[in-house]
Amino acid sequence: MKSFKKSALIFLLIVTILTFGVSADGAYSSKNDPLVSLSYVNDVLGPQIMSQVLSKIESDYVKISDLTDMSSGELTLITLNKGDTLMAKGVCEIVVLSGSATALITSSANVNAGQGLVDVTDGAVVTNGTLVALNHKIIIPKADGRGLVVTSDGISVLVRGAYTVAN
């Protein structure tokens, strides 16, 4: 009789362990909570996440290709006359070396939001109509109607990136 109770107890213990094991396995490897391998994360999920992040950056902030073009280009010295406007056609970097110019923001949405040109030297935003400081590195982050207007008789500007000049 003792061996029957002992066998029954062992049988119940085995059934209990298997029940918990099967239910735990079902909970952790279900469709809602799958187990994945490191190679799946590295080879499949990683590239998917990176492409989603890059597309979000390009759609909301700046085109990665524009940054590459700007960083690989050389600074060009140009001279502008009074009344000329320099408008960015992408990400553009400028340094006003002589004369005076003011920031030009043509988009009313940008003006209302207080957006403008980025003064990297001061860590500030140069808003519409504000004087651009001499020898300060200025970045125009988008081709959305941002640029500068020459207010003195002539200025010298270092430029890197795509831009247009109009009178």
Which pTM was predicted? 0.56
Residue at 68 is within a domain = no
How far apart CA 124 and CA 37 sit, in angstroms, is: 46
Cβ(84)–Cβ(165) below 8 Å: yes
Same domain, residue pair 93 and 144: yes
- Domain termination site, one of 26, 42, 62: 62
User: What domain range is 11 assigned to?
Assistant: 2-62
How far apart CA 93 and CA 162 sit, in angstroms, is: 9
pLDDT per residue over 110-161, tens digit each?
777 778 898 999 888 888 888 999 999 999 888 888 899 999 988 999 999 8
Domain at 147, CATH number: 2.60.120.1030
Confidence tier at 21 by pLDDT (50, 70, 90): low
Q: Alpha helices of 29-144 — where are they, by DSSP H?
A: 38-40, 46-60, 64-72, 108-112
pLDDT per residue over 76-123, tens digit each?
899 999 999 999 888 889 999 999 999 998 888 877 777 889 899 988
How far apart CA 84 and CA 62 sit, in angstroms, is: 26
How many domains, the chain? Answer: 2
